[in-house]
Amino acid sequence: MRLILNGDNFETSNPGTVRELLDELKIMPGRVAVEVNLEIVRKADYETYKLGEGDKIEIVNFVGGG
């Protein structure tokens, strides 16, 4: 299945849920926020939110800034 992840094509054999994607990427859910097709996914929904073909996913965190 093909996803658009942070602006780039991303192939995964097991798209599953947001939580499974974060696990695959080794990203700790505590420090990020996730958007799917411009909608923010609440942390409580990570386990149940199913991803689909072509979904546009953004995963953001905090970096240095003023």
Residues that bind other proteins (CB under 8 A): 5-8, 10, 25-27, 30-35, 38, 40, 42-43, 58-66
CB of 19 or CB of 43, closer to other proteins: 43
| Closest separation in Å from C-beta 25 to other proteins | 6
Q: Find all residues with CB under 8 Å of 51, minimum gap 6, and list them.
A: 1, 3, 15, 16, 17, 18, 21, 36, 57
| Closest separation in Å from C-beta 32 to other proteins | 6
